[in-house]
Copies of this chain bind each other. A is one copy, B any other.
Amino acid sequence: MARIESKLARMGLQLPPPLSAPGGVALPFPWVNLRDGRAFVSGHGPQEPDGSLAGPFGKVGAEVSEAEAHLLARKTALSMLGSLRRELGDLDRIVAWNRVFGMVNAAPGFDRMPGVINGFSELIIALWGAEAGRHARSAVGMASLPFGIAVEIEAEVTLG
């Protein structure tokens, strides 16, 4: 059985189905773009188990607490892993994480983005380990994110 998916199962985690995007807007791009042995991963938001976008929605530091946002970053990791599994067939094909760009929908005065995006980084490292899971990272505050999601993350990985 696949190594990463075995770990997910032992942790009791399930990957969500494809995003049920809010109506009214086309999304003319793939969630994962395979090029030259790498996967460029589009900005993902947190998903509920039914595939819809996960809330709470709004600005971290106002409508969304830091602890809630940390959980949303973890759900964003699961959303991204769902997209990667559908595209790659097997998450074990990811041999190295290169770069993670973590974006937080930040209320005025909120500057604890690193603690929020740790919800993503901690899960990746738990699954891939310290060497393959190692990723360069920024964790910054945005003026706005699509559909009012509180966290969005894009990434790049190397395939084996």
Contact = CB atoms under 8 A, between A and B. Distances in A.
Interface of A: 25-33, 35-36, 40-43, 96-101, 103-104, 106, 108-115, 118, 121-122, 125, 134-148, 152, 154, 156, 158
Contacts of A108: 143-144
A120 B156 CA distance: 21
B136 A40 contact: yes
Nearest to A27: B114
B111 A144 contact: yes
Nearest to A96: B35
11 contacts: A28-B118, A28-B125, A29-B100, A31-B136, A33-B98, A101-B138, A108-B143, A108-B144, A109-B144, A111-B145, A112-B146
List 9 tightest A-B contacts by C-beta distance, closest first. A141-B144, A43-B138, A40-B136, A106-B144, A33-B136, A29-B137, A42-B136, A141-B143, A143-B143
Nearest to A21: B114
Given A27-B114, A98-B35, A98-B40, A146 B142 contact: no
Contacts of A31: 136
A37 to B, nearest CB: 8
Contacts of A104: 144
Given A35-B96, A35-B98, A40-B99, A29 B135 contact: yes
